[in-house]
Amino acid sequence: MKYIYIINGRADKAPQYREFFEQLKGIPHFHEVYTTLGEGDATRYVRLYCDLHPEEEVCFVACGGNGIINGVASGLVGYAYSSDHVTKQTGNKTIAILYFGGATEDFIINFPGRNFRSVKDMLAGTVTPTDIIQVNDSYCVNVCNIGFNSKVASRANELVAMGKSAHVAYTRGVINAFITSRFNRIKITVDGERIARGPMVLCTVANGRRVGGEFNCAPDAKVDDGLMDVCYFRAMSLLRLLMLFPLYRSGGHIGSRAGKNKVIYRQAREVVISSKDLIDIYIDGEQLPGSQFHLKILPGALPLRLPKLP
């Protein structure tokens, strides 16, 4: 088995990889390290490697947060799953995750009790099939955001680029969204049924449970149940939204008194998002503009190597 560790090439990310390189020195195994060259490079690299080495047994290790996990997974999933649900995976290409800080770790909280900072535990781990969401021609490992949440992500990304922490960036992004994004005219269809009419605040289509480092948007979501969890907020007064916000952080918004008749929570296999205007959907924190998005769950499409349990 060969392990290819994929790290973010941005200069400001270098300090977070010191612990990783220290661990590598003491663990002899067949491996190499690839440093990304820019946006989308992780996906391009994984796809090209799989094309050039179809028979080689390789584990691509995404070293970082949601962005790099998405990049590696998006490159690999086409070799593990096809549009007609007939698997092409031969068992010789997998993905693993190492997290050393610097970005939100939303996806890995779906696997409690496992140490995603240990190279040794990762090497001793086992592979489990994990779901992934296809969004038009892109893929989502964790959560898609539309409306209020996309405004939060947009502002948060700007602030992170300016050197703010993820926590501070998302908090300020939320404040900005309270002012600018409480009435969005976006149509959401879940398994062929329009779930609500009129303006909406936000919608999350989730594979995992958490987004933004602290918001438990889909508390019932499971990454291996073959379903997406859809959380939809109808338009509401600022006061009511302020009452719901702490519940949205904790995951208590589902079935809450404050959310009665305003919060819709469904599970689905297919979701269609459409708008008369150009809108942004955020996929694992990355912006994707458009006016129509078709989302579908790909059950077990991602062969994920999880660290061993203690």
Residue 205: which of 280, 133, 298, 287 has the closest Cα? 133
Say what percent of the chain tops pLDDT 90. Answer: 62
Condensed to tens digits (0 to 9), the pLDDT of residues 210-243 reads 987 888 999 999 999 999 999 999 999 888 988 9
Residue with tokens 């509401």: 236
90: phi > 0 → left, psi -120 to 50 → alpha, else beta; which? Answer: alpha
**For residue 95, what are the CA distances in angstroms to 130, 186, 217, 248?**
11, 35, 25, 31
Q: Is the pLDDT of residue 75 over 50?
A: yes
Question: Reduced to 3 states, what is the DSSP secondary structure of residue 12?
Answer: helix
> What residue spans of 111-212 are helical by DSSP H?
119-123, 148-161, 166-180
pLDDT for residue 11:
80
Two structure tokens written together for 41 = 């490079």
Q: Is the pLDDT of residue 87 over 70?
A: no
- How much is the pTM? 0.89
Residue 165 — pLDDT band, cuts 50, 70, 90? confident
Which whole number is the average pLDDT over 19-26? 92
Domains within the chain, CATH numbers bracketed? 2-131+300-306 (3.40.50.10330), 143-299 (2.60.200.40)
Residue 85 — pLDDT band, cuts 50, 70, 90? very low
